[in-house]
Amino acid sequence: MKISLSLEKSYSNDLSIMVDVLRASSTITVALDHFQQVVPVIDQENARKISEKLNAVLAGERRGATLNGFNAGNSPWEIQKFNGETLVLTTSNGTRIMEGMNARVLIGCFNNAKAVARAAQEISRDHIELVMAGVEGRFAIEDFLGAGFIMKYLPDEEMDEFARSAVLAIENLEKVDKSIFNSRSGQRLKILGFEKDIEFCLKRNISNNVPIFHQNIITSYRK
């Protein structure tokens, strides 16, 4: 089985795991404890229209900041205050990345690393691809380290060197946490008052939820 790591663009036709640690992957993972489905939307105005049509909770951000008139930001901490059938979510990076994937798509982060790795091995035929969402097309260290933590639970015999380097990078978890808190994304979130979100996103294996994206809707693989 081939295991690879890529930034923003997806190349697999088998199985991809989208990794957007700060914060879409974490928000979606925890949201499935409170909603039956998550509808990811790229455009914020379209997200408003869909939420009105579905009478859904509306969450989203641009450059980390909560969008005006939305019920919540792209915040795993905030989203736990809500319950319902559907969450409509629009984000700067994660929701956009999923639209460009041709493979079956799972969503992974530190919160569900072991569960998503196990599900990936159940589903995949020959190629598990970890896709880092990044930030506006740029490398983001939090996604590299989050992908490495997920791949820790995958067999390393067939990993490409980029994937193997991410696994090696997460050996010291104290340094991992410090690097993410001090990352560009981490600094921005702290300025915006979302430090609790960073702390939440760094919690390891606290969820067995495995979000799966299919026909523009995210549901739980285990349900």
DSSP secondary structure string for all residues of 131-142: EE--BTTB--HH
| Count of CB atoms situated within 10 Å of the CB of 182 | 11
- In the chain, domain spans: 2-22+95-214, 26-92
The Cβ of residue 9 has, within 10 Å, a number of other Cβ atoms equal to 11
DSSP code of residue 62 = E
The one-digit pLDDT tens for each residue of the chain (223 residues) are 899 999 999 999 999 999 999 999 999 999 999 999 999 999 999 999 999 999 999 999 999 999 999 999 999 999 999 999 999 999 988 788 898 898 999 999 999 999 999 999 999 999 999 999 999 889 999 999 999 999 999 998 889 999 999 999 999 999 999 999 999 999 999 999 999 999 999 999 999 999 999 999 999 997 5
161 exposure class (CB count in 10 Å sphere: 0-12, 13-18, 19+): exposed
Beta-strand pair 217-220/211-214: antiparallel
**CATH for the 2-22+95-214 domain, from 2.130.10.10, 3.40.50.1370, 3.90.1560.10, 3.40.50.150:** 3.90.1560.10
Which amino acid is it at 102?
A: N
Q: How far is CA 88 from CA 47, 135, 191, 201, in A?
A: 6, 21, 25, 20
